[in-house]
Chains A and B, each alone.
Chain A
């Protein structure tokens, strides 16, 4: 699982940087989206991946929890990234007028 996530992150970063340097504004936006997805995956993977584990379970031993904090961080990052994406697209539309 870790290997799969790591390869995905690698592909996303490589593709993101490639598009970011592509030159047009749409390229830059797509590149930034890919990079921010990669960042989200990195945070999730850095917190430790667990198969089929809930974030909080009553009464079960601590080793069975999935760490809830990276999930909260990623959620925050996704929301912020979404807001920024909306702003970027607005900026793109306004500047092409």
Chain B
């Protein structure tokens, strides 16, 4: 298959999966099948783009700044692959752990449209289509949250919907203003036009709106308080998917738009603000996590803290830091998804994930404990696992730039992360088992184990994975290949 065909196929598969699943009364298998095939295609795309190649599909044959383009480069291929991986795992868990209520309300077609929105957001080559794909993604996530029964869940859904709609409106206004000022919405064309007239008037106001929009979606700290209120209401199988997909797509958009499109002379608008917000996010998130008493809540606060790490990588904006940020994104999606899934295992096993109600899981089920230990240690950054290399690369880039604030925040927040993971470990896994214990389904253990193996192998084969991240970062910081693939050879940018 040519790469162009692969791009179209990875966009069509989730759509087909959703329609088939809807036709079969919400049957999960079409969704599963589509996700597995899309995962395979995304891996192929990752291999094809591993040398820095960029492929573009010009929809309808319209030339680039006028028509709609779908573009795949190293970064988007990597993101596609990990997101499909988590989708497969989440579908397995949803099939086995969720009550029939969810299937009756058509959870599985919605999961497929969620994946459609995510794939579209990764593949699109212009700002307005990014907005449209965000809406596809958001509406699916709204509908999924609305399925969750209970009064608290409903209040959480409402909060989540309203804050995300406000973010979308900011995004929409920003896209409109960008078009008014530059006459284009195409990423490559925008980059070229920002290079040509280096006036900050063109960028700054729209950049501030986009910053707000992506900041809310990615959960940067002054804009993040919706997250710990809504995510813990979701059952773990779904919060794994939300944690892995939704906030990370906000980060993807930050990396793509601020790290590539709006870069002029090696910096982007509001870089300083992003730096301090990232530090604040890291610290506030982890302090919030330390204060919680439920696995779901602790993990939700950890999302915020880890988002801070990735935003910090973008704010440092050196080649090493960007590669570290992309590596961190990939590692984080796998690890965070897995931690939520293991929380699901604990709940299935012991009936709760409250730190005060559950204890002694190590004795009653050592497998669950092992499966928790792998992603937890990786999140905290213990050496042979993927998190260590992500943090190490980020720390190294901070030290190279002699940015002592960033470096000390990375180390201190890492220590607090270990502390809060120990808190879960001590309360839930150690001690004497109390109450009745049910054996969790074999297939769930296996799924979580596969994700654990992925975490370990990212750590062991760190060289290869880091090389992929470096290529992706190189493609963002020096988008000549991207521009050539989208606009053709005639548009070369003067450095």
Contact = CB atoms under 8 A, between A and B. Distances in A.
Q: Report, as a range, how many residues of chain A touch the other chain.
A: 20 to 34
B162 A80 contact: no
A39 B169 contact: yes
A23 B463 CA distance: 52
Contact of A43 (B142, B146, B161, B179): B179
If over half of B's interface residues share one DSSP class (helix, strand or loop), that class is named, otherwise mixed; here it is helix
A46 B181 contact: yes
Interface in A23-39: 25, 28, 32, 35-36, 39
Contacts, number: 69
A63 interface: no
B120 to A, nearest CB: 14
Contact of A39 (B158, B176, B181): B176
Q: Report, as a range, how many residues of chain B touch the other chain.
A: 20 to 34
A20 B154 CA distance: 18
A91 B146 contact: yes
Contact of B172 (A43, A48, A83): A43
Interface string B435-452: 000000000000000000
B10 interface: no
Q: With a 10 A CB-CB cut-off, give which of A20, A76, A80 has the most chain B CB atoms.
A: A80
A73 B128 contact: yes
Contacts of B132: 76, 80
Contacts of B154: 95
If over half of A's interface residues share one DSSP class (helix, strand or loop), that class is named, otherwise mixed; here it is helix
A42 interface: yes
B158 A73 contact: no
A76 B133 CA distance: 12
Contacts of B283: none
A39 B165 CA distance: 12
B135 interface: yes
B172 A39 contact: yes
Contacts of B181: 46
Interface string B145-173: 01000000010011001100110010011
8 contacts: A35-B169, A43-B172, A43-B173, A46-B176, A46-B180, A73-B179, A84-B165, A95-B158
Contacts of B173: 39, 42-43
Nearest to A69: B179
A73 B165 CA distance: 17
A80 B138 CA distance: 11
B177 interface: yes
B22 interface: no
Given A25-B158, A84-B139, A87-B139, A94 B176 contact: no
A20 to B, nearest CB: 7
A84 B140 CA distance: 11
B146 A94 contact: yes
